[in-house]
A and B are shown apart, each in its own frame.
Chain A
């Protein structure tokens, strides 16, 4: 018996009772529809999530100095002053999994242009590598500063979009001078908009400048003292003890040239707030963490068994947590959808059993005219599969329509997933075979004499 003939016979048999066939497939329709909708919405959410995380600078590792403690009291991360720009260079040089790295110092200060002022979220002192680390290399306007600017401590900066809006009101800021703590900076470029990050922080509310300039001209401080709030409070306000408030403070007591000539001091390292490094890709992150850890322990002369004096944080941890959450949700909903598929399958089995009983005489007749047991088995199996596949097709349309509806009405991100469609076709055919088998097997085992006599 040809497959085509069998399928046609199955269709004809189902058409004899279209209402019942419809109601029977309803379980499958809903099950498959739910699976498709779940998969599409789930895929959409995780794609959106990935995009968000990428814009935050995926693959970025933040290496901060560890916490200092005294007498059992810890002062919080960043309170030791052990990170140096040389550490950053060493990380870039010695860790093969690191694409780029930059030292970073942070400041928070008022920025003035003309009669307007603004306090940006952060003023970052970095090297040009920062733009690469943050996937921010394309500027909206102007050019990035160079390594030479960093070496010289040049007063140049790049502005985020929020600052352009707040200070310049749409005017092009390139070439203009702004003042940070009364120190004039020339704006040489404007960053492209990035929007808020996942935590709601406006990533465009930043100024980027060479770290040397920020460190030595603007703050003269490190997180080691700003973290202790009392010091920070006296920082920006004019006090009588400070005759020239904008004079950059020296970290160490100034020495005259004669003093320096008499007893030269070893060059002290400059400490920085953190190092930002980018792993070459997401898979390399854990390797990169290990490499950085090795390099820094060696550079900081930490003996085996002693705790690290630095903390490495990766965004991937965040990424993983969030994607695990969405995956969990998708799986949960998928499980619910699968249960409804199973329920639908039981419905199919039920109706097929009824159908076999109802058509006992037909089965007997078919056997009398030469149908073998396997022909009958195939006929009823194909009928169940046709029923399920029809339901599956309707479910795909329903689920896809549902997810489109969700997209238009709720603005949820949705992504068509061909694999989900293929899977649900397979699953509904599978349900047909699994739940159609028992009734079909029962039909094929009928005795033709008994079946013909059945009333």
Chain B
């Protein structure tokens, strides 16, 4: 079943009088349960595509079907609601709230959900999520008391709190050393396999991309090529369209 379908997505930014096309007709289908890496050099449009996929932005033209719903023409508020229910985000710089416990950081998205959870239920759910990322003993730690890998795991727990079908990770290992990177990536793989969560990562690191089953390479606003899972380093040069 296809969770995400893009048809002819274009995005053009208006810089004064000049129209700058960033995405030039992207069509893409991502099935449920896939672990996809989106790679490309900087300026290739992968971040813009990510923003559109993540419903932070809407395309200039084209269709975007997410979970059987056309979302490219939704209003700002409708998109916020959609992000809350169906999408999870993990950022390069973690973006945890400073001086706020891990538990409260994880529970934060719940305050924007339509279904009002009681305070206790929210905390229980947050604790459960933290346990799932292996931080059951760090509930009351503040971000400054956690290592980079732990912080990113808190961020992952936060992204999963609403049980979204899709998780977006924007350079999730960009601020981590290779060992903790590996930990985080393994966590992604586990979530992907065990819970069937669709994960879409943006990365320019081939080593990170190698963890994905499917690598989509972008260049200058179009999809250059796609490769299904293979050995590390092989898809860095691309294996043909």
- Residues of A at the B interface (CB closer than 8 Å) are 1-2, 5-6, 9, 12, 15-16, 361-362, 364-375, 448-449, 452
7 pairs, CB–CB < 8 Å, chain A vs chain B: A1-B111, A361-B95, A362-B95, A362-B97, A366-B108, A370-B85, A448-B56
Contact B158 A369 (CB under 8 A): yes
User: B96-110: which residues lie under 8 A (CB-CB) from chain A?
Assistant: 97-100, 104, 108-109
Q: Are A9 and B111 in contact (CB under 8 A)?
A: yes
Question: In the bound complex, do residue B97 and residue A452 qualify as a contact, i.e. CB atoms below 8 Å apart?
Answer: no
B237 at the interface (CB under 8 A from A): no
The docked-state distance in angstroms from the alpha carbon of A9 to that of B109 is 12
Q: Contacts A368-B56, A370-B84, A452-B95 known; A5 to B77 CB distance under 8 Å? A: no
Chain A residues contacting B56 (CB-CB under 8 Å) are: 367-368, 448-449
For chain B, residues 127 to 175, give those with C-beta under 8 angstroms from any C-beta of chain A: 158-159, 162
Given A372-B81, A449-B56, A2 and B116 touching (CB < 8 A)?
yes
B83 within 8 A of A: yes
Shortest distance from the beta carbon of A4 to any chain B beta carbon, whole Å: 9
Minimum CB–CB distance from A106 to chain B (whole Å) comes to 80
**Which of B89, B98, B104, B159: most chain A Cβ within 10 A?**
B89
Instruction: Decide if B54 is an interface residue (CB 8 Å cutoff).
Output: yes
Question: Which residues in B have their C-beta under 8 angstroms from that of A373?
Answer: 76-77, 80
Residues from chain B with a CB closer than 8 A to the CB of A2 are 111, 116
With contacts A1-B112, A16-B99, A449-B57 known, is A369 near B89, CB below 8 A? yes
How far apart sit A364 and B104, CA to CA, in the bound complex (Å)?
17
Q: How far, in whole Å, are A449 and B55 apart by their CA atoms in the complex?
A: 10
Q: In the complex, which of the residues B76, B109, B116 contacts A372, with contact meaning CB atoms closer than 8 Å? A: B76
From A16, A369, A448, A449, contact of B108 by CB (8 A): A369
Greatest chain A CB density within 10 A among B89, B112, B113 is at B112
Which residues 77-91 in B have Cβ within 8 Å of A in the complex? Answer: 77, 80-81, 83-85, 89, 91
Please report B residues at the A interface, Cβ cutoff 8 Å.
51, 54, 56-57, 76-77, 80-81, 83-85, 89, 91, 95, 97-100, 104, 108-109, 111-113, 116, 158-159, 162
Contacting pair A370 B97 (CB below 8 A) = no
| Bound complex: CA A369 to CA B111 (Å) | 10
Q: How far is the CA of A361 from the CA of B77 in the complex (A)?
A: 19
A365 to B83, CA, bound (A): 11
C-alpha gap A369/B112 in the complex (Å):
8
- For A365, the chain B residues whose CB sits under 8 A away are 91, 95, 97
When C-beta atoms are compared, the residue in chain A nearest to B83 turns out to be A370
- Which chain B residues lie closer than 8 Å to A15 at the CB level? 99
With A and B bound together, what is the CA distance between A372 and B158 in angstroms? Answer: 18
Q: What chain A residues lie within 8 Å of B113 (beta carbons)?
A: 370
Q: Given A449-B51, A452-B95, A371 and B80 touching (CB < 8 A)?
A: yes
Contacts of A448 in B (CB 8 A): 56
Contact assessment for B81 and A370 in the assembled complex, using a CB-CB cutoff below 8 Å: yes
In the bound complex, what is the Cα–Cα distance between A365 and B88 (angstroms)?
Answer: 11
* B89–A372 CB distance below 8 A: no
Measured CB to CB, the closest approach of chain B to A12, in angstroms, equals 7
Task: Give min CB distance, A5 to chain B, whole Å.
Answer: 5
Chain B residues near A16: list those with CB within 8 A. 98-100
Residue of B nearest to A367 (CB): B80
Q: Which residues of A contact B116 (CB under 8 A)?
A: 2
- What CA separation (Å) do A374 and B100 show in the bound complex? 23
CA distance A15 to B51 in the complex (A): 33
How distant is the Cα of A15 from the Cα of B101 in the complex, in angstroms? 13
Q: A367-B80, A371-B80 are in contact. Are A452 and B91 (CB under 8 A)?
A: yes
B83 proximity list for chain A (CB < 8 A): 368-370
Inter-chain contacts of B104 with A (CB < 8 A): 12
Which B residues lie within 8 Å of A370 (CB)?
Answer: 80-81, 83-85, 109, 112-113, 162
Min CB–CB distance B160 → chain A (angstroms): 11
- Note all chain B residues with C-beta closer than 8 A to A9: 111
Which residues of B are found within 8 Å of A366, using beta-carbon distances? 108, 112
Residues in A whose Cβ lies below 8 Å from that of B51 = 449
Chain A residues whose CB sits within 8 angstroms of the CB of B76 once the complex forms: 372-373
With a CB–CB cut-off of 8 A, which chain A residues contact B162? 370
Most buried by A among B109, B159, B162: B109
A6 to B84 Cα, complex, angstroms? 17
Nearest CB of A to B120, in Å: 13
A91, chain B: closest CB distance, angstroms: 74
Give me 14 other A-B pairs in contact (C-beta within 8 A), A370-B83, A372-B76, A372-B77 excluded.
Answer: A1-B111, A1-B112, A5-B111, A16-B100, A365-B91, A365-B97, A367-B80, A370-B80, A370-B109, A371-B84, A372-B80, A372-B112, A373-B77, A375-B112
B96: nearest chain-A partner, CB-CB? A365
C-alpha spacing A365/B158, complex, angstroms: 11
A367 contacts which chain B residues (CB < 8 A)? 56, 80
A9 to B85, CA, bound (A): 21
| Interface contact B89-A368, CB-CB below 8 Å | yes
Would you give the shortest CB distance from A39 to chain B, in whole angstroms?
39
The complex places the Cα of A414 from the Cα of B117 at a distance, in Å, of 50
- Tell me the bound Cα distance from A12 to B97 in angstroms: 11
- Chain B residues closer than 8 Å to A12, beta-carbon distance: 100, 104
B residues in contact with A375, CB < 8 Å:
80, 112
Query: Which of A362, A364, A368 is most buried by chain B, counting CB atoms within 10 A of its CB?
Result: A368
Which B residue sits closest to A373, measured CB to CB?
A: B76
Interchain CB contact under 8 A, A371 and B57: no
The 7 closest A-B pairs by CB, nearest first: A370-B84, A369-B109, A370-B112, A372-B80, A365-B95, A372-B77, A16-B99
